Amino acid sequence: MIGRLTGILLEKNPPQILLDVQGVAYELDVPMSTFYNLPVLHEKVVLHTQLIVREDAHLLYGFSSHEERVAFRQLLKISGVGPKLALSVLSGLSLNDLAAAVANKEVGRLTKIPGVGKKTAERLLLELQGKFVVTGASVVQGATVSSANDDIVNALQALGYNVKEADWAAKQLPKDSNVSDGIRQALKLLSKA
């Protein structure tokens, strides 16, 4: 089992990266939460990994934190959830957002993730109940989000960005951003990511 890799980042083609580990280049699929936190090319990176062995392929998945890898493994235990869908869930929601969605039984929030229909969302909520803990930071953060921030996120989603990308961009903006300026700044940030 390959549990962790430390190497030089050679390529970034979402959701796949190429990591050089002492002359051997590994292709890894990573969730967008990990992708956004990667350093620039040719910098050192450490990733927790999960190897999936199938009859026709050996697939390697990378995560910036141990907690993300644990969540990925937990998602794989659910009937009907494969590596691609698990990666999509982790790309669509942060761990705290996923925990909050499960705790609050928010089917609608899960169905916004590409590839997750209503039945799959309901299965995720049922199977993940009690598996994740909502941290105090996420509850406080969720309670203080401004309506301008919500409008910016909704506008970005209407332009085709997924929930995770839109939330990430909105969190990078100054707290006092108005909607139109916030959208412009968020689009600039997303075009550089």
Query: Could you tell me what percent of the chain has a pLDDT over 90?
Result: 40
Contact 156, 177 (CB under 8 A): no
167 burial type by CB count under 10 A (0-12 exposed, 13-18 middle, 19+ buried): buried
pLDDT at 136: 39
For residues 125-139, average pLDDT: 64
pLDDT per residue as tens digits for the range 63-97: 999 999 999 999 998 888 999 999 999 999 888 88
Query: What is the number of domains present in the chain?
Result: 3
**140 lies in some domain:** no
**93 lies in some domain:** yes
Domain termination residue (choose one: 14, 32, 63): 63
For residues 155-174, average pLDDT: 80
For residues 96-124, average pLDDT: 89
Q: What is the CATH number of the domain that holds 12?
A: 2.40.50.140
Has residue 133 got a pLDDT over 80? no
Name the pTM for this structure: 0.67
Cα angle at 33 between 28 and 35, to 5 degrees? 45
User: How far from 151 is each of 39, 94, 148, 164, 170, CA to CA, in Å?
Assistant: 30, 19, 5, 15, 10
Same domain, 55 and 111: no
Has residue 10 got a pLDDT over 70? yes
Dist. CA 172–CA 192, nearest whole Å: 13
Has residue 154 got a pLDDT over 80? no
Which residue range is the domain that position 31 belongs to?
A: 4-63
Contacts of 175 (CB under 8 A, 6+ apart): 146
**33 lies in some domain:** yes
Omega before 31 cis (within 30°)?
Answer: no
Contact 25, 68 (CB under 8 A): no
Token pair of 87 as six digits: 């990666």
Same domain, 38 and 52: yes
Q: What is the mean pLDDT of the chain?
A: 84
Domain termination residue (choose one: 63, 87, 112): 63
